[in-house]
């Protein structure tokens, strides 16, 4: 059964995007950080998105700037199998993307029952909250960036009951980011 993880960077005050849907405040790049990010973007897994994050990621990773700034990651992101959950989109233009318009929880249960590759949700706070509440997320990978931004979207928006997790590992980076991995408690 494929494993379902979520990977997100959040600000010190808990936001994964700012109020303009921008994530560029998140990380100071250096060789250690670049190696970590490249290791995550191998193109082997399947990436899951809500519509808002999908559209932002598509805009960025298909741009010439992304190809120039982070060529390996851009290649990995564009080559990866991707799924976007949306009731409003009618078609998708980003390479290797499947649009799923059905009930989120039912669709994810189907994907997890399948023999497909492991899956990672990026961004997509409301999807994270909904799947977390159904105990469908096997691993939470959260990077806390050393920056406060004052407002934005939170990772578990709309969560209806408290979700207690178990810390599995922590790693501090020279750029000040703290990466922690959690499993359901």
Would you say 93 or 150 has its CB closer to a copy of itself?
Answer: 150
- Tell me the backbone φ, ψ of residue 68, rounded to 5 degrees: -80, -45
Burial of 17 (0-12, 13-18, 19+ CB in 10 A): buried
Looking up tokens 């897994």 gives: 45
Choices 52-60, 81-89, 104-112, 168-176; region in contact with a copy of itself by CB under 8 A: 168-176
Q: Pattern 21-60, binding to a copy of itself, x per CB under 8 A?
A: ----x-----------------------------------
Q: Is 166 near a copy of itself (CB under 8 A)?
A: yes
User: What CA–CA distance (Å, rounded) separates 92 from 99?
Assistant: 7
CB atoms within 10 A of CB 173: 17
Q: Which of 32, 21, 25 is nearest to 125 (CA)?
A: 21
Q: Is 11 helix (H, G, I), strand (E, B) or coil?
A: coil
Checking DSSP bridges between strand 139-144 and strand 178-184, what pairing results, if any?
antiparallel
Choices 49-57, 61-69, 72-80, 142-150; region in contact with a copy of itself by CB under 8 A: 142-150
Choices 36-44, 73-81, 112-120, 159-167; region in contact with a copy of itself by CB under 8 A: 159-167
Would you say 15 or 54 has its CB closer to a copy of itself?
Answer: 15
Provide the binding-site residues for a copy of itself, judged by CB under 8 A.
Answer: 10-15, 25, 129, 132, 140, 142, 144, 146-151, 154-167, 170, 172, 176-178, 180, 182, 185
């Amino acid at each position: 059964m494929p494993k379902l993880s979520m990977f997100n960077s959040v600000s010190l005050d808990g936001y994964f995007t700012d109020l303009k849907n921008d994530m560029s405040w998140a990380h100071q790049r250096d060789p250690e950080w670049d190696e970590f990010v490249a290791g995550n973007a191998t193109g082997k897994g399947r990436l899951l998105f809500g519509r808002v994050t999908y559209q932002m990621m598509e805009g960025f990773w298909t741009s010439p700037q992304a190809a120039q700034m982070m060529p390996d990651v851009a290649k990995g992101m564009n080559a990866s199998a991707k799924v976007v959950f949306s009731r409003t989109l009618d078609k998708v233009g980003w390479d290797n993307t499947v649009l799923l318009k059905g009930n989120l929880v039912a669709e994810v249960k189907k994907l997890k029952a399948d023999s497909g590759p492991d899956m990672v949700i990026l961004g997509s706070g409301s999807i994270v909250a909904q799947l977390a509440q159904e105990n469908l997320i096997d691993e939470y990978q959260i990077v806390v960036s050393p920056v406060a931004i004052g407002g934005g979207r939170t990772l578990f928006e709309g969560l209806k009951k408290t979700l207690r997790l178990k810390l599995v590992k922590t790693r501090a980076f020279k750029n000040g980011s703290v990466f922690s991995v959690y499993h359901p408690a």
